[in-house]
Structure 1
Amino acid sequence: MAQIEKRTTKDGKTTRWRVKWRDGGRRDGEWNGETFDYQADAKRFKALVDANGNHRPSPEQLAEHGFGRLAPAPAAAPIDEPEAMTFRQYALAWLETLTKPSAETKRKYLERLEKHVLPTLGDLPIAGITRRMLREWQTGLIAAGLSRKTIANIRGESMFPIFRASCLPGEDEEPPLRTYNPMDGLALPDGPKFERDFLETPEQASILLTAAYEVDPEAADLLLTKLACGLRWGEVAALPPEAVRKHLGTIEIRQVLRKVERRWVVEPKPKTRNGYRQVPLHPLVMHVVNQRAEKAVDFVFCAPRGNHWRYEDFYDWRWVKIRTLAEKRGLRGHMTMHGLRHSLLTLLATEGLDLPGLKGVAGHAQVSTTMDVYVHHTTAHHEPVRRIVGGFLEAGIRAGEEQRAASIGRAAEYRGRVHRAARQVRPTGARP
């Protein structure tokens, strides 16, 4: 049976998990193993090894369970037979030619291909894939529970560019593998569309923050700051104490926490030029943040071990408990941590903050991104609409009420006359 060993670096800040086993489970079998960043991945891989008789899982099993990166690379197709090239071979070669995305972005592309595309289309000749095959592939993803947005991401990030590239001559003027892109005209499958939940009223914000402080005051301070500033997770989790400018009443976004090669690392600058910004803080929130900054060493908000919070750990150990308690007390929907950013930007837009200021708080390059993605409809306009419509129609409504009352009176009088006349002509002993 395979074993899982916990390994920690000399500095004590990084923990990894190694799955090791003897081939075939024999005492004289050779040792084999794989190392993982997350214990959950190690446990899933150990279960595969145990089910496979203490042998390394096959490439098909690895791909099926999301470990396709551990499978041996497929052999390249002969250069003189481009028509025999499979989708897998071409997709992996295409991925290597990309220069603009970061290494982490390319890894995410590969992970999605291995998990959702290659098990179905990987071994088919790329020249023989039809629009019907792709439509059936999309239907299978919907049946597997993928959201419409996830499928749209796979299509836009990988599938469409891959087929578009296959319609072009090769780098050495090889003839195109295809004559058309089968993704053209392929409709995105219908699926449920969910509106992101956000805090709309002070009462909802109070419910969430009260629950947070009951579960863990340390985590609640982080959520309070995130909600008050509209920060991304990587910005608030990596906030250094020197970024707190008490005399200005602001915090300065100067570094971010980002996932690279399946590890959370602190990068010394935001992803874009607009990400570097100063965000104003309410005095009460500034008091909370400044108290923490005065005692902090590396980060204003620290995990129990003293390092920055990892998103997965905070979500599992703090956020789920906080949200569950808040929902029991009446908080609507299925709130997410990123929904707090949506909440603040929607509030600021509803209260009339000018567009340049809104874009500056969000850290976006285009104000259209802020308005189209982060600002949602609220019920704040309901009462003004009622007041405006009432003033416009008040005279008509009053006149209508008078006419309606008179009409009702005439109708009642007419029914009374008919009833009295019917009683006068009814035969003796007849039932009414």
Structure 2
Amino acid sequence: MATVEKRTTKDGKTTRWRVKWREGGGRDGDWDGETFDYQADAKRFKALVDAAGNRRPAPAQLVEHGFAHLAPAPATTPVDEPAPMTFREYALAWLDTLTKPHVETKRKYRERLEKHVFPVLGDKPITDITLRMMREWQTGLLEAGLSRKTIANIRGESVYPIFRAACRRGEDGEPPVRSYNPLEGLALPDGVKYERDILETPEDAALFLTAAYEVDPEAADLILAALATGLRWGEVAALTAEAVRLHLGTVEVRQVLRKVNRRWVVEPKPKTKKGYRSVPVHPMVMEMLKRRAAAGTKFLFVAPHGNHWRYEDFYDWRWVKIRMLAESRGLRGHITMHGLRHSLLTLLANEGLELAGLTHLAGHAQVSTTMDVYVHATTSHHEPVRRIVGGFLEASIRAGEEQRASGVTRAGEIRGRVHRATRQTAAAGKTGPGR
């Protein structure tokens, strides 16, 4: 049978009541008990223990008689924790939220992720990706043959924004997924940074165009238009007769060719507002465009099958032959189609064309893009450097000849100044204070 014991603290100020019993009532049972602040509660609990056969009352009885705090916590069914969100899942969800980029830009982002990022990082929880992982990922791309420029593009356009978004609060105030961006402060992998080869001088351009017209006059007209206007491949290859404004001496960029799902398709408008622009054309080039516009073809420059050129076909069937011929005749560098655009913008910058005009011609939104990416250093400054250095060398030679003619050398003049200063210091010491 359970008993109730009165207990007083050492200071004699507090009295408590403890219910004690042996489990099952036998002498061999283990002692059990509960302590209460009030004697009435202890007596009620003792009655429950006695009714239960000197055992702890069932949880339902404890709750029923006001002792719910003594009842064991109900067993809970374990709930499976949701699997952590992978980088792939977060990246695709992020892409879906983008509204500003052109649909083709979003397609390019996803294509880069599928090809260069997901195979390494896609199945890893986005919360577990570290700076070391990102550094190893970059190094792997470099070892796979990608250039530092390509890696920078993948990083800056497709990966960095994903981690930046993961470090922000959600649209409904959810806490950030990550506490830091693992690309923040991570340098690009070491590697040789090559500058794009361009046609640095009018003579280089003339040599290349001559080779083009010898290989294929039809293809050469397209190359001439690209070099003379600075248009991108997708812009020059999509030119139509309606784009030629004879009375203004310009061509208008109204539509572009863009590669979508491995097919070149005509987009009815450029990707950005800056893409809509009028580009001035030299009268000789305008005569060529006028002639082609009068031919009545769908595009100004057509492939042998009658439709617009596909870049891959033009490159393999025409460009490589033209470049090889030009290089055999002394052309420096390994020019690409996009290098023609860089060439014109660089030559115009060296001629002092104002930045606003240069940026408008390029169709860029920012001057920094034009100047930092498209305008290259050339050898045009070599002669001014030689001329300036030669000028002060000639002046120095003339000064030396005049000194020798007067019998006074620079060294002798310096020694004389030192000697005079020494004598003046010695004289001042003899007459100074304390003497």
TM-score (norm: length of structure 2): 0.70
The alignment partner of 1:295 has SS state of coil
Task: Name whichever of 291-300 and 102-111 sits farther off.
Answer: 102-111
Hey, what's the Cα distance between the residues in 1 that align with 2:290 and 2:101? Answer: 37
Question: Structure 2 CA distance, aligned partners of 1:404 and 1:261?
Answer: 79
- Structure 1 letter corresponding to 2:271: K
Q: Deviations over 1:248-281 (max 9, x none)?
A: 3222222222223433222233333332222222
Letter in 2 for 1:355: L
How big is each residue's C-alpha offset from its partner over 1:320-339, in whole Å with a ceiling of 9 and x where there is no partner? 12112211221111101111
CA distance in 1 between partners of 2:101 and 2:226 (Å) = 28
CA 1:80/1:95 → structure 2, altered by over 3 Å: closer, same or farther? farther
CA positional deviation for 1:401: 6.7
Structure 1 partner of 2:4: none
Partners of 1:89 and 1:194 in 2: CA distance: 36
Amino acid at match of 2:162: I
Q: Distance in 2 between matches of 1:178 and 1:356?
A: 41
User: RMSD between aligned alpha carbons?
Assistant: 2.6
How far does residue 172 in structure 1 lie from its aligned partner after superposition?
Answer: 4.8
1:404, distance to aligned residue in structure 2 (A) = 10
Map of 1:286 onto structure 2: 286
CA displacement, residues 16-49 of structure 1 (integer Å, 9 cap, x when unaligned):
xxxxxxxxxxxxxxxxxxxxxxxxxxxxxxxxxx
Aligned to 2:14: none
2-structure distance, mates of 1:242, 1:310 = 21
Q: Which residue of 2 aligns with 1:276?
A: 276
Per the alignment, residue 317 of structure 1 pairs with: 317
| Alignment CA distance shift 1:174-1:83 (3 Å) | farther
Which residue number in structure 2 is paired with residue 107 of structure 1? 107
Q: Contact 1:86–1:124 at 8 Å: present in 2 too?
A: yes
For the Cα contact (< 8 Å) 2:201–2:347, is it kept in 1?
no
Structure 1 residues 302-381: aligned runs within 5 Å: 302-381=302-381
Matches within 5 A, 1:182-197: 182-197=182-197
How many angstroms apart in 2 are the aligned matches of 1:162 and 1:258? 25
In structure 2, how many angstroms separate the alpha carbons of the residues matched to 1:82 and 1:388? 72
Query: 1:136 offset after TM fit, Å?
Result: 1.4
The answer to whether the Cα contact below 8 Å between 1:82 and 1:177 also exists between their aligned partners in 2 is no
Where does residue 198 of structure 1 map in the other structure?
198
CA distance in 1, matches of 2:336, 2:369: 20
Matched, 1:258 2:258: yes
Partner of residue 89, structure 2: 89
Contact residue 83 and residue 177 of structure 1 kept, 8 A = no
When residues 198 and 127 of structure 1 are mapped into structure 2, their CA distance, relative to the original with a 3 A threshold, is same
Cα offset, 1:371, TM superposition: 2.3
Equivalent-residue separation in structure 2 for 1:115 and 1:284 (angstroms): 45
Residue 134 of structure 1, CA deviation: 1.5
The alpha-carbon deviation at position 296 of structure 1 amounts to: 2.8
Name the amino acid aligned to 2:257: L
- Structure 2 unmatched runs, 5+: 1-78, 406-435
Deviations 1:356-402 (A, max 9, x none): 33233223333333222222222222222322333344221234478
**What is the DSSP-based 3-state SS (H/G/I as helix, E as strand, rest coil) of the residue aligned with 1:387?**
helix
Return the index of the structure with the highest Cα Rg: 2
CA displacement at 1:81 relative to structure 2: 4.0
Query: Structure 1 residue 220: deviation in Å?
Result: 0.4
The alpha-carbon deviation at position 217 of structure 1 amounts to 0.9
Runs of 4+ residues over 6 Å off in structure 1: 401-405
Q: Distance in 2 between matches of 1:174 and 1:365?
A: 34
Give the conservation status (yes or no) of the 8 Å contact 2:88–2:122.
yes
In 1, the alpha carbon distance for the partners of 2:180 and 2:81 equals 19
**Counterpart-to-counterpart distance in 2, 1:91 and 1:152:** 18
Distance 1:173-1:399 versus aligned 2 partners, 3 A rule:
closer
% of aligned pairs identical?
A: 77
Q: For the residues of structure 2 that align with 1:360 and 1:170, how far apart are their CA atoms? A: 38
255-264 or 291-300: bigger deviation: 255-264
Structure 1, gaps ≥5 residues long: 1-78, 406-432
CA distance in 1, matches of 2:174, 2:89: 16
Contact 2:292 2:300 in 1 (8 A): yes
1:237 maps to 2:249:
no
Counterpart AA for 2:254? R
SS in 2 for 1:302: coil
Separation in 1, partners of 2:370, 2:132: 37
Counterpart Cα distance in 2 of 1:310 and 1:100: 28
Mapped contact 1:83–1:127 kept (Cα < 8 A): no
CA distance in structure 2 between the aligned counterparts of 1:238 and 1:280, rounded to whole angstroms: 17
Aligned residue type for 1:269? K
Letter in 2 for 1:107: R
Partner residue of 2:397? 397
